[in-house]
Chains A and B, each alone.
Chain A
Amino acid sequence: MKRTFLGEFEEVVLLVVAACTEDAYGVIIWEQLQEQTGRSITISAVHATLYRLEEKGYLSSQMGGATAERGGRRKRFFTVTALGSRALLEIQEMRQRLWQAIPQGKLQLIGQ
């Protein structure tokens, strides 16, 4: 199977959705992202990435949970699909392999 390319920001968003303890939707994901990365991110960028990930098949979603502060509008809850989890695992494995392949002492040398 040809793997769909996953961008860095996409990967982070996917990880955040996976790491969420409660139901993940736009605002929560955005807050987590801000917290974890420390970057300033617009919510429209988060939305755009979420939809793109859904199109690629890494996320699935359903509607629900309207609240007053949303003007009675429902939220879209995102969950990681099997394809999404496999993609995350593969990335992690690949990184692992690369980390292990680094010759001893080299990283320190570069670091200095």
Chain B
Amino acid sequence: MKPNPSPPRWLDKLLNWLVAPHLREEVLGDIHERYTLRMQRLGERRARQTYWREVLAYVRPRFIRRKPNQYPNPSHTDMLRNYLKIAWRNLTKNKAFSTINIGGLAVGMAVAMLIGLWIHDELSFNNYHQNYGRIAQVRERGIREDGRRYSNTSLPYPLATELKTSYQRFFKHILIANDPEEHILTADQTKLTETGRFIEAGAPEMLTLTMLKGTWAGLQDPHSILLSASTAQALFGNADPMGKHVKINTDMDARVTGVYEDFPHNTEFNGIKFLAPFVLWTSVNPWVKEQQWNNWFLSVYVQLQPGIDFDQVSALIKDIELNKIRNLEGAQKQVASQPQIALLPMSRWHLYGNYYEDDKGPVQMVWLIGLIGAFVLLLACINFMNLSTARSMKRAKEVGIRKAVGSLRGQLVGQFFSESFLVVGLAFVASVLLIHFSLPWFNDIAAKQLTFRWTNLYFWLAGLGFILLTGFVAGSYPAFYLSSFQPVKVLKGTLNSGRLVATPRKLLIVLQFTVSVTLITGTLIVYRQIQHAKNRPIGYDKAGLLLVKQKTADFKGKHELLRSELKNTGVVFDMAESRSSTTGITMWNGGFSRRGTGITCPNGCGTLPVSTEYGQTVGWQFVAGRDFNRAYSSDSAGFIINESFAKLLSLNNRTRTGKETAASLVGETVTWSPGSREARTYTILGVVNDMVALSPYESAIPTVFFLEDNYNWINIKLNPQVSAAEALPKIEAVFKRLIPTVPFDYKFADQEYGAKFAAEERIGKLASVFAFLAILISCLGLFGLASFMAEQRTKEIGIRKVLGASVLNLWGLLSKDFVVLVLIAFLLATPLAYYAMSDWLQKYEYRTELSWWIFAASGAGALLITLLTVSFQSIRAALMNPVKSLRTE
């Protein structure tokens, strides 16, 4: 009999795949039997036709559904308890490893959580205000003469009135406010200097102030004031402040109509200690309402009506300034900057509110810090994986036996995950403790007030998610790798533990050290840049220089008296007045010309009125010419210019040939006719070194100094022989006597100057902390791996020693592998760091160079740390008595 022709193969395959395994045999058998019968009765063609129809009829759940596992999951937790017990035994058996594992992971998690808190704080800026989504600040955007796009918060007065008259229907509130400024608050005998703002009456409602006393209507009365809780406490103690009289400066009277909770740290209005009505300010400053489109000095805040969005309104109000000034006399320059009015929503104030529109600094900072946090966590996870896989050889036998007695792969995966979750859970507890103790210190260097949210449900949910994610990421490699061992091979001891297994571990070490070396290099460069800027010659002597702001008109006309009284105390070397402090420029102008040729100041020139002895007081360094002198009355028409201004003059000089020196400029005349004052001709008396008044990272501003009684600051140079502690009470006594209405507040010039480095120093400190942690975590990982390697090669080392290898030989043998890995990491990190840091340095005009030795130093540093870490283990292994090591089994 010829063999039965079988039905189509592919249909059988389909059926095999479709039907549950326990039914396959009989189902296939039955339909094959039927096929054979059919073929005998009806022929092959008909049989085939019915066959595939029959096959298709098996596509139904009853046949597809697989039989449930014969050994279902136990409802009790015996096996889970066993996993935990074994995990615990493994942890306590290798205390050093466990500490490294848990400690490293805890540090990594703590860093990631700290950074998470920091980012949350940055992103939730201002959402203290309930109308957060509806509030915006009106801004003027345009293009500066140097081509950079700007976005200015200071606005001209007519813009605010124009918005109110023509566009009121879009807004619930349009509030004009002046800039935050320090004012003297006087209540009975108590005097305080506090920062506050004058703003229109809708402010408490728009900002949804939390009123502790009084109501949101508190600013309706033109002679009212709202105090923050801390200010109320400072002014009135525990007495009820409501209705009490407060004098603002010396010319404004108000009654307390409310007390609000202080603005929290992460709001734009943080530090505003009182709010007073805008009309109170304009009542004593009538000039405000006379200002035209060429004076930018006010802020305008708006709240939109419901159902209107920011873009819609921005588009409508875009051109209102341009339309007004287009045909204005003398406004060509202003028109050329193409000013456009736009709304900046409150959610973007903090991160996108820069003056330079293209400066993405704050956002990049958030990204960068977030990236670093992710990386540090990644490093910690890598350690965990690395150590676990390194220890896999020790656990391989356990896996083999578990498999041999019937453990399924899924159960082993579960076992390793439960171990991983145990370790991660322990690490989480440790990291929470770490955060608890390091938060005050972190707040200090990051200039934040972060709090740990113990009671926040979302925090704990996030924490749980964090544990699950980290536990999964950290445990996945050992879980899937270890469970894939074949029991026969493992138990026979032929498990391939050669190069293939070591490769991913090496890759992980290279990755770790690449990150670490990059961070070290970055930190070094940040510090170099700060040091470079700190070493910059600043053009004056800031030591022992005291700055006192003239907050009220009471200082006027007392110059000579103050000066002689102060000098009589014997603790003051000299005193002079000036328009701005040495660390700022508060008067900007253009309109210079020389022999009929205009001199363009690219971004404006500083024009600073000073009193005669200013130079002596701050310690000017003359390049050429002489200082102002009381003996010459003609000095009132004299300029002292700085080097940058001198350069501008010689650049603009097209009438002469040859280069002008600073000395040849002395005695030349310059005509100055800014729009706001009459044209006058000045003689250049002297040229001084550039003073670093603004950012120490940018080139100096061309500046002229001249004698004019238009001062805001008093500069006092202390007698170098007298200590500040001794001098200050005497100076204070003089001020108390001569100007009794104003509390004596002073600043040291060197501290003010130092504050200019605060942002960079903060970056430097943060970067160094993270670099330190990254290195620490990498070293922990390296240490663990090195000790494991040494342990694994115990026998080999013993034999080598017996055959005569020296300790040095063995040390080299064990350290070599790691050194090579770190060198590779160094080669990868160098270009990375180079590109990142040269990009960072680009934003500073006055910057350090990226010298090769910085990279070499960080590479050498990483290498040294590696050698120290590895040597501890390798020397210990090399010193071991071979008799002992060869006996171990």
The reply to whether A63 and B57 contact each other, CB–CB distance below 8 Å, is no
Known: A68-B4, A69-B32. A43 touches B54 (CB 8 A): yes
Taking residues whose C-beta sits less than 8 angstroms from the other chain, chain A's interface range is 20 to 34
Q: Which of A44, A52, A76 contacts B26 (CB 8 A)?
A: A76
The reply to whether B58 and A70 contact each other, CB–CB distance below 8 Å, is no
Nearest CB in chain A: distance from B792 CB, A: 52
Q: Which of B25, B33, B60 contacts A44 (CB 8 A)?
A: B60
For residue B62, CB closer than 8 A to chain A, the reply is yes
Q: Which of A26, A27, A44, A70 contacts B57 (CB 8 A)?
A: A44
The reply to whether A48 and B62 contact each other, CB–CB distance below 8 Å, is yes
Closest to B53 in A: A42
Main secondary structure of the interface of A (DSSP, over half): helix
Closest to B39 in A: A69
Bound CA–CA A44/B6 (angstroms): 19
Nearest CB in chain B: distance from A6 CB, A: 17
Chain A residues within an 8 Å CB radius of B36: 69
For residue B29, CB closer than 8 A to chain A, the reply is yes
Known: A68-B4, A69-B32, A70-B33. A26 touches B26 (CB 8 A): yes
The reply to whether A71 and B63 contact each other, CB–CB distance below 8 Å, is no
Chain B residues within an 8 Å CB radius of A67: 33
For residue A1, CB closer than 8 A to chain B, the reply is no
For residue A25, CB closer than 8 A to chain B, the reply is yes
Chain A residues within an 8 Å CB radius of B6: 71
Bound CA–CA A27/B28 (angstroms): 11
Known: A27-B34, A48-B62. A75 touches B57 (CB 8 A): no
Q: Which residues 60-82 of A sit at the B interface, judged by CB distance below 8 A?
A: 63, 66-71, 73-76
A27, A30, A63: residue with the most chain B Cβ atoms closer than 10 Å: A27
For residue A45, CB closer than 8 A to chain B, the reply is yes
Bound CA–CA A71/B34 (angstroms): 12
The reply to whether A43 and B31 contact each other, CB–CB distance below 8 Å, is yes
Nearest CB in chain A: distance from B48 CB, A: 16
The reply to whether B25 and A42 contact each other, CB–CB distance below 8 Å, is no
For residue B23, CB closer than 8 A to chain A, the reply is yes
For residue B27, CB closer than 8 A to chain A, the reply is yes
The reply to whether B30 and A48 contact each other, CB–CB distance below 8 Å, is no
Indicate with 1 or 0, residue by residue over B115-130, a CB within 8 angstroms of chain A CB atoms. 0000000000000000
Known: A69-B4, A71-B6. A48 touches B29 (CB 8 A): no
Q: Which of A25, A43, A48, A69 contacts B60 (CB 8 A)?
A: A48
Known: A27-B33, A69-B36, A71-B6. A44 touches B58 (CB 8 A): yes
Bound CA–CA A43/B50 (angstroms): 11
The reply to whether A74 and B58 contact each other, CB–CB distance below 8 Å, is no
Q: Which of B4, B23, B30 contacts A43 (CB 8 A)?
A: B30
Bound CA–CA A24/B60 (angstroms): 24
The reply to whether A43 and B29 contact each other, CB–CB distance below 8 Å, is no
Bound CA–CA A42/B37 (angstroms): 15
Nearest CB in chain A: distance from B21 CB, A: 13
Known: A44-B54, A70-B32. A25 touches B26 (CB 8 A): yes
Known: A48-B63, A69-B4. A42 touches B28 (CB 8 A): no
Chain A residues within an 8 Å CB radius of B25: 63, 73-74
Closest to A66 in B: B29
The reply to whether B23 and A51 contact each other, CB–CB distance below 8 Å, is yes
The reply to whether A75 and B29 contact each other, CB–CB distance below 8 Å, is yes
Bound CA–CA A48/B60 (angstroms): 9
Nearest CB in chain B: distance from A8 CB, A: 18
Bound CA–CA A44/B23 (angstroms): 12
Chain A residues within an 8 Å CB radius of B31: 43
Chain B residues within an 8 Å CB radius of A51: 23, 62
Chain A residues within an 8 Å CB radius of B29: 26, 66, 70-71, 73-75
Closest to A68 in B: B4
Bound CA–CA A43/B6 (angstroms): 18
Nearest CB in chain A: distance from B722 CB, A: 104
Bound CA–CA A75/B33 (angstroms): 10
Indicate with 1 or 0, residue by residue over B435-479, a CB within 8 angstroms of chain A CB atoms. 000000000000000000000000000000000000000000000
Indicate with 1 or 0, residue by residue over B537-578, a CB within 8 angstroms of chain A CB atoms. 000000000000000000000000000000000000000000
A25, A43, A68: residue with the most chain B Cβ atoms closer than 10 Å: A43
Nearest CB in chain B: distance from A62 CB, A: 11
Q: Which residues 67-112 of A sit at the B interface, judged by CB distance below 8 A?
A: 67-71, 73-76
| Sample of 26 A–B contacts (CB below 8 Å) | A26-B29, A26-B33, A27-B34, A30-B30, A30-B34, A42-B54, A42-B57, A43-B30, A43-B54, A43-B57, A45-B57, A47-B30, A47-B63, A48-B60, A48-B62, A66-B29, A69-B33, A70-B28, A70-B29, A71-B6, A71-B29, A73-B29, A74-B25, A74-B29, A75-B26, A75-B30
Apart from the given pairs A71-B29, A75-B29, 13 other A-B contacts in the complex at a CB distance below 8 Å: A25-B26, A26-B30, A26-B33, A27-B37, A44-B60, A48-B60, A51-B62, A63-B26, A66-B29, A69-B33, A70-B32, A71-B32, A73-B32
Give the interface of A toward B (CB within 8 A).
25-27, 30, 42-45, 47-48, 51-52, 63, 66-71, 73-76
Give the interface of B toward A (CB within 8 A).
4, 6, 23, 25-34, 36-37, 53-54, 57-58, 60, 62-63
- Give the 7 A-B CB pairs with smallest separation, nearest first: A73-B29, A26-B30, A69-B36, A44-B57, A70-B29, A76-B26, A42-B57
